[in-house]
Amino acid sequence: MSRTPIKQPDFLPMTRAEMDRLGWKELDILLVTGDAYVDHPSFGAPLLGRWLVSRGYRTGIVAQPRWNLEAGDPGEVAAMGRPRLFAGVTAGSLDSMLAHYTAFRKKRSDDAYTPGGQAGSRPNRAAIAYANLVRRAFPGIPVALGGIEASLRRVSHYDFWSQSLRRSILFDAKATVVLYGMAEHSILALAEELDRLSEEGGGLADALARVPGAVHARKAGDLPQGLGPHEVLELPSHEAILADPRLLLEATLLSERHVHQNRQVAVQGSGDRMAVLTPPGRGLDGAALDALYALPFSKEPHPSYRRPIPAADMIRGSLNIHRGCAGGCSFCTLALHQGRTIRSRSRASVLAEAVRLVDVKGFTGSISDVGGPSANMWGARCLGNMEACLRASCLTPKICKHFKADQGGFVDLLGEIARLPGVRHVRVASGWRMDLGLADKEALSRMIRDFTGGQAKVAPEHTDALVLQLMRKPPFSVFEEFVALFQRESGRAGKEQYVVPYLMSAFPGCTVESMRRMAAWFAGRGWKPNQIQCFIPLPGTAAAAMFFAGTDLEGNPLPVATSDAERLCQHAVLGAEQKRPHARADSPERKPAGRPAGAPVRGRGAAARPPAGRLKERK
């Protein structure tokens, strides 16, 4: 259902007065976000808001609304009136629990997505809290959850902060639908389907079944009409996973396959209902992706803010040139949320944005980052049949023969940007994928010599072969080869440049002994790493499933550091943390106790783990 495009406002409205100035009597769609409103394509709500406006839907934003309201107080959510079609809800650019708590469950004191950088402007489990606000303000309105928090919690998942297995956020938030992944197609399809329902009538469940990348609820066994047996991918039910934690491994790996192959409807039972997940859809690419980034983003915070927003300052001079990550690291959310398919903007689109960036207020001539999830994946593509692919990663254990990356073209693009009038420096600050870079050493050498701002951020994560295999990372020898090449090329260029390695402690399979071996490697070379993260099992990831089950992906028992004492002991080996964290009254739901290494985390009502076995179809 096509609509007449609307003129893009300077900023999407946040108040009734701003709506009045635009001549809008009502909103079609309201977006509620846990981030401050920065009119930049790196912020999800403004990105989708401008996309919807370009398709003719009047869209407003409520940013970081108060959630602890007294009875009778409708709050900021109601300020612009009831939207005609639906309200979209996102916790923001980060999972709200990750934004609030460290790996040792200490309360964070800052929030880069908030004016002044101060924590406390969004609630815990913000997607659920905001959905409740919307239903309270507008009874009966369809509520669509989106963003990273909802996307990764779309099916049963392990929750580190309550140490429990939680069901799909669709049920906990009592939402109408969850839009998972990059949601431009799905949110537009939802708007069109609800528009059609309002004019022609029909069933809501059938309409939701036509939305790509969407999760909706049905009664158990009530599949959408017209589906054949080979078109349905059944995940282990929530109750089955509670009884056997190893089944979370199976559910997670099937979810990964569902996103990558993009061909089946996935279902998961939960009590007397089931979550139905439509395939993610084709995603934006080519001209559509270019058109999205050509929308008139001001790149500035909304003028109502009086204090700076740290995240806005960090991205002010950056260019995002692609989506997706082919790595598929088991602890990372990027491939789960954005997919493994690389969707790149055209050269012309990137250059056009760089020209516009020169005119942005405060631009100093330095483009601080040109990249994406992994900078040197721009232009990469799969020449194989992705629908039949059973690989969990395009790059490990070795780079797939069907995965082709034009890294020379990427470096050529950097050179074109650097030659634009008004541009003095171009840097690549996004993480570099080392194994991919070493596959084209000529392009990598050029990037090191010409486009490194003194530091190259890379993620070897560990030195232990087993841990790296479980992480889906390349062997440590790749890091050693990269460092040697980096030092050689930096010397040839006459530059003093450094490699910044990102390392991880307490990953499933990691022990104090393996941490000591890693520390010895760096100490033996006079290297004192300072980018050391203690593993956090993020919802939806394969690593979180291993943490929960106490096994590897094949069901074999693993040592798993679960208590804060065990985790801190590993983390301290590299000098990353010197004292035990304190429990605080404002910590999440409860402070988990430890469990023996290799034993499963027990969900609410979980039975004891049966003897270790092997899961089927691990290819």
Q: Is 394 assigned a ligand-binding role in the annotation? A: no
pLDDT at site 601: 44
Looking at residues 209-232, what average pLDDT do you find? Answer: 90
Out of 101-110, 225-234, 404-413, 515-524, which region has the weakest mean confidence (pLDDT)? 225-234
**Residue 531 binned pLDDT confidence (cut-offs 50, 70, 90):** very high
pLDDT at site 369: 95
Residue 70 half-sphere exposure toward CB, CA atoms < 13 A:
0
Return the domain boundaries, the chain.
16-214, 317-453, 498-619
Residue type, 190: L
Q: Is 569 assigned a ligand-binding role in the annotation? A: no
Distances (CA, A) of 131 to 113, 376, 466: 20, 38, 42
Dihedral (C-alpha) 300, 305, 309, 314: value to the nearest 10 degrees? 10
Mean pLDDT of all residues belonging to the chain: 91
Q: Is 325 assigned a ligand-binding role in the annotation? A: yes
The answer, yes or no, to whether residue 618 has pLDDT greater than 70, is: no
Q: What token pair was written down for 436?
A: 């991919």
Class of domain 317-453: alpha beta
Residue type, 174: K
The answer, yes or no, to whether residue 617 has pLDDT greater than 60, is: no
Looking at residues 228-256, what average pLDDT do you find? Answer: 95
Looking at residues 151-163, what average pLDDT do you find? Answer: 97
The answer, yes or no, to whether residue 4 has pLDDT greater than 90, is: no
Which pLDDT tens digit goes with each residue over 74-83? 899 999 999 9
* CATH (residue range 16-214): 3.40.50.2300
The answer, yes or no, to whether residue 429 has pLDDT greater than 90, is: no
Task: Write the CB contacts of 249 (distance below 8 Å, at least 6 apart in sequence).
Answer: 542, 545, 546, 549, 551, 553, 555, 615
The answer, yes or no, to whether residue 481 has pLDDT greater than 70, is: yes
The answer, yes or no, to whether residue 604 has pLDDT greater than 90, is: no
Looking at residues 545-559, what average pLDDT do you find? Answer: 97
Q: Residue 199, Cβ neighbours under 10 Å: how many?
A: 9
Looking at residues 93-117, what average pLDDT do you find? Answer: 96
The answer, yes or no, to whether residue 478 has pLDDT greater than 80, is: yes
**pTM summary value:** 0.91
The answer, yes or no, to whether residue 140 has pLDDT greater than 60, is: yes
pLDDT at site 610: 32
